[in-house]
Chains A and B, each alone.
Chain A
Amino acid sequence: MKYALFVGCLAPVMGRQFELSARKVAEKLGLELIDIEDFACCGFPLRSVDEETALLLATRDLCVAEGKNLDICTICTGCASTLAEAGKELSHDVGLREKVNEKLQKIGRAYKGEVKVKHFVRVLYEDIGLKKIKDQVKNSLEGLKLASHYGCHYLKPSDVFNEFEDPEVPKTLDQLISVLGAETVEYEEKIQCCGGVILDIDDNIALAMAQRKLEHVNAMGADAMVLMCPLCGSMYDRNQRVIERRFNASYGLPVLFYTQILGLALGIDPRELGLDMNRVKTSDLLSKLGF
């Protein structure tokens, strides 16, 4: 199993613990991740202002992977959906592909339409599989109550992902949590968006969106929230104190990337999983697990 690893813009700056833990669990599970220096922006940040240039950037990344004969595995859900959407459209729409290639040829690139794009968690679910993960669990997470948060772009637009998940009642992340021995907690408005995309547009609205979810998860007595997108992570973890101050609330809710709890279950040292890099302290959670 081999993929080109697409780390994206956000994780290296605001979610190093995600990148770090993803690499560690991949190694443990026999998933080979190839680093490619030529990858750049996936195009998502430009879609609002310039769809054409955004598509060119996405396609350029696809070309880079195609040149190495590799499919792409991303750790950001936004990159996953942007690259997968571009890839799907370009493999079906020959006219569009020709138009895009006309421009890309000027920088010496052309896309044939052969690259598949998956988020890291989807790779775990589909390529590694629940059974293999379960078999490798060394430290069961029994006794932990975890609330899953699916990033919007892991699920939607669902046709981009060939209906791999049910966007209304998603299940893959919950199953991946359950096989580690932890209990998954249901909560109100589970599939609601973190608001991260509009944080720069209107922080009052964006932070209020995130606050609602923290409120709902907290109400169910979860030990932690588990997610898989660096933008969602920045909203619930990095901004949790800001939210607490602005809304006069107190949560202290640990927010972990799935790869971090998976790593713990696989017996990887917490320091190697960057658990000390999470903003909301994870020490109580770790002591609950006997670390």
Chain B
Amino acid sequence: MVATKLDPKFKDEVSKTRGGQNIKRCYQCGTCNVGCPVREIEEKYNPRKIIRMTILGMRERVLSSEFIWLCSACYTCSERCPQDVRIADVMNALKNLAVKEGHVHSSFAKRLEVIEANGRLFPVSQFDNAKRKELGLPQIPPKNEEVQELCKLVGSSKPSNVGGGG
């Protein structure tokens, strides 16, 4: 086995990150793995192990891992966890930290930009609005100036605006 540099403070870093507050409560019972619908399809996704690696301090391995991006945010594990680790939120905390290290999954890389430009994740085209008019549905504005302002306010310094592979 290849020796990995451990960072004993990693668990503290995660527990101070929004969503990661309860990570240290995990006692590795594996309830999260048992009910996970993603793991049901792909065994490589192993939330229990991701938490174990995090607590052990395997910072780089965890943050550069593609597996943290596989959580489908169904919250089944969060509901069933006897220690209230809030695993789905922990996964978000880990992804947020990964992004700060430049490990943005490609499908997320441009999201802030898209939302800034359109006010929404799925832009409404002229065609969509024409269709809406036909159906008697109200028009949806193509952008939202307040959101643009807000994104500018936080955006320039945010790594979520940085491209790159995951």
Contacts and interface: CB of A to CB of B under 8 A. Distances in A.
Interface of A: 7, 9-10, 12-14, 16, 19-20, 23, 35, 37-38, 40-41, 45-53, 55-57, 60, 103-104, 106-109, 152-153, 156-158, 167-168, 189, 191-193, 195-198, 200-202, 205-206, 208-209, 212, 274
B159 to A, nearest CB: 8
B41 to A, nearest CB: 5
B1 to A, nearest CB: 27
A141 B140 CA distance: 34
A198 B72 contact: yes
B120 interface: yes
B151 A38 contact: no
A14 B71 CA distance: 23
18 contacts: A13-B122, A19-B137, A20-B137, A35-B138, A40-B119, A41-B147, A50-B112, A53-B112, A103-B154, A104-B150, A109-B146, A152-B76, A168-B79, A193-B37, A198-B72, A205-B41, A209-B38, A212-B41
Contact of A52 (B18, B79, B144): B18
B147 A60 contact: yes
B30 interface: no
Contacts of B75: 152-153, 156-157, 167
Nearest to A200: B107
A60 B153 contact: no
A60 B137 contact: no
Contacts of B73: 47, 152-153, 197
B108 interface: yes
B120 A201 contact: no
Given A12-B124, A20-B135, A106-B153, A37 B112 contact: no
B7 interface: no
A53 B112 CA distance: 9
B111 A46 contact: yes
Given A13-B128, A56-B154, A50 B160 contact: yes
Given A47-B73, A57-B150, A193-B76, 8 more contacts: A19-B137, A41-B120, A50-B158, A51-B92, A53-B154, A157-B75, A196-B72, A202-B42
B57 interface: no
A205 B70 contact: yes
Contacts of B93: 51
Contact of B76 (A35, A156, A196, A212): A156
Chain B at the A interface: SS class: helix
A57 B112 CA distance: 11
B147 A46 contact: no
Contacts of A103: 150, 153-154
Given A19-B137, A41-B119, A156-B74, A49 B112 contact: yes
B74 to A, nearest CB: 4
B105 interface: yes
B101 interface: no
A52 B74 CA distance: 21
Given A16-B131, A16-B135, A48 B146 contact: no
Given A9-B122, A56-B154, A107-B150, A48 B95 contact: yes
B6 to A, nearest CB: 26
A202 B105 CA distance: 11
Contacts of B79: 156-158, 167-168
Interface string B64-105: 000001111111101100000010100011011001000011
